[in-house]
Structure 1
């Protein structure tokens, strides 16, 4: 089994896709005005408009209402990424780069829809071994 994608539903496609392009330094592929993807390693970050929900039924997902999922990105140097994006995330910063007890150096912030994002770099040998 492979995790193919994580999809975020939003009411503002252009704003959210642009945000993720900037923080990841990747270019999204737009398939329609209601659906775009960023390829991140073997997985896709999919972003769909609220109009895509009509294919699934009423009340399936509510944009900008996530309070339980953290979208995590392993990066080479979290402190360098923080310096690059700190102005963009200054108003939604949750935690500056901090070394966590489990060995990851972690940067937490929210995207424009309020989804919690974690950029992290394994620091300890044990943390690094988990990702080899």
Structure 2
């Protein structure tokens, strides 16, 4: 099995894609005005507008800006180097400045404009680095 992507549904796709492009320092590919995707070596982060939900049926299946249980995580080369850009765009929504966690990752936690929790991390201990080889 392979995890292909995580998709965020939003009311303001342009705002959210712009936020992630700045925070991650990477460009999304736009497939339509309602769908964009950032491919990584392991999976993708997809962002879709609420208009894309109509293709799945009539009943409400996703509610934008209501997540409080999922953390979207990105392994980055150096979380400390990315912190200034994240702090600039996330501002008061930085939850945790870069901190070395007990399991060996250096992590930066922040919320995107829709309130989704995002973790940028860099494995720094030998054990953590081995997990991601």
TM value normalised by structure 2: 0.95
Matched, 1:63 2:64: yes
CA deviation string 1:77-129 (max 9, x = no partner): 11111023321112211000111111111100000000000000111111111
SS at match of 1:83: helix
Q: Match of 1:117? A: 118
Equivalent pair of 2:95/2:109 in contact (CA under 8 Å):
yes
Moved over 2 A (4+): none
SS in structure 2 of the partner of residue 90 of structure 1? helix
Report the 3-state secondary structure (helix = DSSP H, G, I; strand = E; otherwise coil) of the residue aligned with 2:92: coil
Query: Which runs of structure 2 are paired with 1:1-132 in the superposition (5 Å)?
Result: 1-57=1-57, 58-132=59-133
Q: Structure 2: any 5+ residue segments left out of the alignment?
A: none
**Superimposed CA distance per residue, residues 17-36 of structure 1 (whole angstroms, 9 cap, x where no aligned partner):** 11111111111111111111
1: distance between equivalents of 2:51 and 2:71?
A: 24
The separation in 2 between residues aligned to 1:131 and 1:111, in whole angstroms, is 25
Gaps of 5+ in 1: none
Find the aligned partners of 1:7 and 1:75 in 2 and give their Cα distance.
Answer: 20
Is the partner of 1:63 in helix, strand or coil? coil
Aligned CA RMSD, in angstroms, stands at 0.9
Matched residue SS, 1:91: helix
What is the total number of aligned residue pairs between the two structures? 132
TM value normalised by structure 1: 0.96
Q: Please, which moves more after superposition, 108-117 or 26-35?
A: 26-35
